[in-house]
Amino acid sequence: MGAIMMVGCASWRGPRRAFLLGLAAMGALGVTLDQWRRWLARRAFSLPSPDASRWALVTGASSGIGRAYAVALAALGYHVILVARRWERLEAVAAQISEAYPVDTVTLCADLTTPEGIEAVEEIIRATDGLSFLVNNAGFGLSGPFATVDFERVLDMVQLHIVATMRLTRAALPGMLARHHGAIVNVSSLVTHYPLPGQATYVATKCYLRAFTEALHQELLGTGVRAQALCPGLVRTEFQASAGIQRRLPSFLWLSPEFVVQRSLRHLAEDRVLSVPGIGYRMLAGLAGVMPRSLLYLIGNRFGMSKGCDGSPMR
């Protein structure tokens, strides 16, 4: 019996070793192919040198991720159109950019929760020859049970996160497609992987942005135009600070807007449709795809309404 078992074990070791070696080889091949794809993507898509024809438009540009994106794009040579509701903040960001970089700046004070505000931005998009980069960043958080939260604010959120993004993207695409070059970044959130009670509308609108961008990315393959859904976790912004969230969570969880934007640009050059800055947050996003739904709900309950956050706990 012992001899039979030894033979059986020996006969199993061979196929098992071959199987494991095969898995390792497939993994190595996958990594190699992914690196090769990213190298080709970087070769095929380049961010511009300064010239008179490259323009970028950033919504929510007065602070946080929007401001960081405006500064980063100006550093890359883009002339920038800054859109936000706060005029003084817009002018301050424009002045900072003009002092630091040899690019033009345009400011537009617009409320994208209103049809008039969206139309004003659509008009400037269509009037700007050479608009090559669009960042749909404007957004806000809304906390509370869906049954009792201010429904006008719910509608404002849908208008801002979904309707404005669709309309501005639709306005920008024809010119980009005609020039065979361009990029659209829609700021979504890591919360698209984790359902958060008390954040139902916020999570739903950010899920829409992610799904919309992934589908759009596939539509744009081969056109020279790229689309990315930026899905950051916790980001140090004025909103988070005013809500007191930064004081309640460990400092190592927080990312700076500048870090988030630099990773977004790097991932865009690699043609990654989903950008999740920070290795810890990438792991969380990956784990969400294999976790049982019951565990996702437990995590959501831990960081949703039970945290008592006034607004979105993640961007």
Residue 215 Cα distances to 25, 210, 229, angstroms? 31, 9, 11
Q: What pLDDT score does 115 carry? A: 97
Point out the least confidently predicted range of 77-86, 135-144, 210-219, 296-305. Answer: 296-305
Closest CA to 137 of 108, 164, 116: 164
List pLDDT tens digits, range 247-305. Answer: 555 566 789 999 999 999 999 999 999 999 998 888 888 877 887 877 777 777 776 65
Cα distance between residue 258 and residue 67, in whole Å = 9
pLDDT at 176 over 80: yes
Across the chain, mean pLDDT equals 83
- Two structure tokens written together for 109: 């004070």
Which range, 14-18, 74-78, 249-253, 281-285, is most confident? 74-78
In a domain, 270, yes or no: yes
The three-class DSSP label of residue 108 is: strand
Residue 41: count of CB within 10 angstroms of its CB: 16
Higher pLDDT, 242 or 276: 276
Q: Given a cut of 80, is residue 186 above it in pLDDT? A: yes
**What was the pLDDT predicted at 100?**
97
Check whether 144 has a pLDDT greater than 60: yes
31 has pLDDT over 50 = no
Cβ 188 vs Cβ 277: under 8 Å:
no
**CA dist list (Å): 211 to 48, 146, 193, 205, 260:** 28, 22, 12, 10, 20
On whether the CB atoms of residues 88 and 106 are closer than 8 A, the answer is no
Instruction: Please report, rounded to a whole number, the percentage of residues in the chain having pLDDT higher than 90.
Output: 60
Look at residue 174 and tell me if it is in a domain.
Answer: yes
281 is catalytic: no
Residues 198-206 have a mean pLDDT of: 93
* Domain hosting residue 85, numbered range: 48-307
pLDDT digits (tens, 9 = 90+) for 88-134: 999 999 999 999 999 999 999 999 999 999 999 999 999 999 999 99
Does pLDDT of 37 surpass 90?
no
Q: What is the CATH number of the domain that holds 71?
A: 3.40.50.720
Q: What are the distances in angstroms from CA 169 to CA 28, 96, 207? A: 38, 27, 17
Q: How many CA atoms lie within 13 A of 16 on its CB side?
A: 6
Question: Is 22 inside a domain boundary?
Answer: no
CA 87 – CA 228 distance, rounded (Å) = 28
Total of domains in the chain = 1
Tell whether 82 is covered by a domain.
Answer: yes
Are 217 and 226 in contact, with CB atoms under 8 Å apart?
A: yes
How far apart CA 194 and CA 189 sit, in angstroms, is: 10
Average pLDDT over every residue of 236-240? 66
pLDDT surpasses 90 at 3: no
Tell me which of 78, 101, 194, 202 is the catalytic residue: 202
Residue 142 falls inside a structural domain: yes
pLDDT at 56: 98
- Residue 177 within a domain: yes
pTM for the full model? Answer: 0.80
In a domain, 163, yes or no: yes
Task: Please give the backbone phi and psi of residue 58, each rounded to the nearest 5 degrees, phi first.
Answer: -125, 125
